[in-house]
């Protein structure tokens, strides 16, 4: 399993080098699929998707110079035969999973069948998450609630046994102050990483490494 769990994308050279190391080859020789689904769970999602793909919002993610870049929209997959999309998924080098609403993304990961495929895919594919796209791979997720999913819908997939709290001290998210995230972490039964937008968590098998040119804090399990 090779995961690069970011708060904001490939925001600095250290995170970019970590990505290249996980790929084992240059980005220009690597194929990618972008999953925008979580973005539709937040306000103005359609507009944000367009900006993320074009690289006009946030840090580099889709616009990194990939050899090829495709789009994998999870809400469409249940209506399409698997032979139409699984072969492309199997052959891609990296899955780019965008941010938005964890609960909405988790629901469609399962409903589409992608969640069931991930354990085998992650034997060779690199998973790169952005914000909610990172959080759903952990043991803790959140929701904005701008959808009609059942309240019992899960918010994470539990691939790793820690939590990530992204956007530490970000001006767009005043609730993500260090004090607030520390208080939140104290209520959780697992270890938590509070990370700013210049920090990522790299996971290779059971080995977890922090890659950062910014600020972060590990809150140990209570």
- Write down the CATH number for the domain with range 2-219: 3.40.50.880
Residue 153 backbone dihedrals phi, psi, to 5 degrees: -60, 135
Model confidence band, residue 42 (pLDDT cutoffs 50, 70, 90):
confident
C-alpha span between 6 and 128 (Å, rounded)? 7
- Residue 105: the pLDDT is 97
pLDDT digits (tens, 9 = 90+) for 54-68: 888 788 899 999 999
Between 49 and 128, name the one with better pLDDT: 128
C-alpha span between 205 and 123 (Å, rounded)? 9
Model confidence band, residue 95 (pLDDT cutoffs 50, 70, 90):
very high
Q: Is the pLDDT of residue 94 over 90?
A: yes
Q: Is the pLDDT of residue 222 over 80?
A: no
Q: Count CB atoms within 10 A of the CB of residue 123.
A: 8
Q: Count CB atoms within 10 A of the CB of residue 141.
A: 22
Model confidence band, residue 134 (pLDDT cutoffs 50, 70, 90):
very high
Q: Give the predicted TM-score (pTM) of the model.
A: 0.95
- Please give the mean pLDDT across all residues of the chain: 94
Q: Is the pLDDT of residue 101 over 90?
A: yes
Q: Is the pLDDT of residue 200 over 80?
A: yes
Q: Do the beta carbons of residue 155 and residue 140 sit within 8 Å?
A: yes
Model confidence band, residue 111 (pLDDT cutoffs 50, 70, 90):
very high
Q: Is the pLDDT of residue 192 over 90?
A: yes
pLDDT digits (tens, 9 = 90+) for 66-76: 999 999 999 99
Q: Average pLDDT of 119-135?
A: 96
Residue of 26, 176, 36 lying closest to 93 (CA atoms): 26
- Residue 46: the pLDDT is 83
- Residue 98: the pLDDT is 95
């Amino acid at each position: 399993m090779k995961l690069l769990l970011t708060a904001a994308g490939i925001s600095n050279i250290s995170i970019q080098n970590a990505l290249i190391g996980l790929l084992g080859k240059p980005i220009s020789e690597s194929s990618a699929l972008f999953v925008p689904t979580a973005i539709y769970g937040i306000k103005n999602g359609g507009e944000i998707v367009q900006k993320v793909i074009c690289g006009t919002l946030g840090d580099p993610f889709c616009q990194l110079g990939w050899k090829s870049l495709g789009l994998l929209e999870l809400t469409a997959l249940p209506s399409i035969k698997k032979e139409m999309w699984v072969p492309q998924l199997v052959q891609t080098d990296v899955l780019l999973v965008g941010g938005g609403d964890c609960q909405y993304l988790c629901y469609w990961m399962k409903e589409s069948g992608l969640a069931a495929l991930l354990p085998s895919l992650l034997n060779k594919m690199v998973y790169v998450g952005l914000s909610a796209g990172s959080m759903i791979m952990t043991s803790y997720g959140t929701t904005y609630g701008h959808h009609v999913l059942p309240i019992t819908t899960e918010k994470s997939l539990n691939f790793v046994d820690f939590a990530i709290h992204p956007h530490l001290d970000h001006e767009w998210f005043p609730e993500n102050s260090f004090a607030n995230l520390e208080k939140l972490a104290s209520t959780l039964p697992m270890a938590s990483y509070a990370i700013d937008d210049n920090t990522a968590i790299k996971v290779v098998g059971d080995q977890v490494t922090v890659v950062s040119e910014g600020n972060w804090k590990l809150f140990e399990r209570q």
